[in-house]
Amino acid sequence: MKTIGLLGGMSWESTVPYYVTLNRVVAERLGGLHSARVLLSSVDFAPLEALMRARDWDEIGKTLAREAVRLEEAGARVLVLCTNTMHKVAETLEAAVGIPLVHITDVTGTAVRAAGLRRVGLLGTRFTMEEDFYAARLARLGIEVLTPPADARAFVDRVIFEELCRGQFLASSRSGYAEVMQDLVSRGAEGIVLACTEIGLLLGDAPFPVPLFDTAEIHARAAADAALA
């Protein structure tokens, strides 16, 4: 079993489920008292969030690359960046280390394709929804992406940073997200990609008319697969 290097804290609320899922998958696969070999670098999110708002992606890339190198030097053989938005700088991390990065967009796209879908709605931070680093990568897998209109994107982004990243999961926001998702379905979305690792914590197991793809769950399971390969 390879050691997994988790680069988390963005936010820490969604990093916790990664650890839980990794260990559950390893226990299911290997049985007994087996658990995942994990190293965690949990960063302080506030300075990085400020850099995001300033659109200083170069500095974000450098900061996260340093943490990725530390994980590799500590013994990690698989790298996992526990956030969707920060995959905007994934290539910077990949260039800094000699271990494979399990890319969240690729494994999510694989799950969408396995479900037989070709058009999905995308929910995430405004960076993920409005910039092309995420949608373009899904497009290379033959998946068309629909995003909410501007006012809905602002609502989704506000809830992520002002509520979900702070551990607040409000029924009113859950209802608001359901309305945004239903609008995407009415526009032709065959499924919804929850492209922020906190959204699954808000929605839980509530039923929805089309498949929901919880990127945190998908990503963690793919990381476990990589470690056990």
Residue 70's CATH number: 3.40.50.1860
Alpha carbon distance, N-terminus to C-terminus of the chain: 8
Per-residue pLDDT of 43-57, as tens digits, reads 999 999 999 999 999
- Residues 20 and 86 reside in one and the same domain: yes
pLDDT at residue 7 above 90?
Answer: yes
Whole-angstrom distance, CA of residue 118 vs CA of residue 143: 5
- Residues 224, 205 within the same domain: no
Residues 6+ apart with CB under 8 A from 49: 161
> 12: pLDDT confidence band, cut at 50, 70 and 90?
very high
Read off the pTM. 0.95
Number of separate domains in the chain:
2
Give the torsion through C-alpha atoms of 126, 222, 116, 174, to 10 deg: -40
Residue 210 sits in the same domain as residue 184: yes
- Residue 53 φ then ψ, to 5°: -65, -30
Q: Are residues 116 and 36 in the same domain?
A: no
Q: Are 157 and 93 members of one domain?
A: no
Give the pLDDT score at 3. Answer: 98
Q: Is residue 98 located within the same domain as residue 108?
A: no
Three-state DSSP state, 101: strand
- The pLDDT tens digits of the residues spanning 200-219 come to 999 998 899 999 999 999 99
- If asked whether residues 117 and 97 sit together in one domain, one would say no
Domain extent, residue 210, equals: 104-214
Residues marked as catalytic: 83, 196
The pLDDT of 69-75, averaged and rounded, is 98
Burial of 48 by CB count in 10 Å (0-12 exposed, 13-18 middle, 19+ buried)? buried
Are 48 and 128 members of one domain? no
Same-domain status, 168 and 86:
no
Burial of residue 20, with CB atoms counted within 10 A of its CB: 0-12 exposed, 13-18 middle, 19 or more buried: exposed
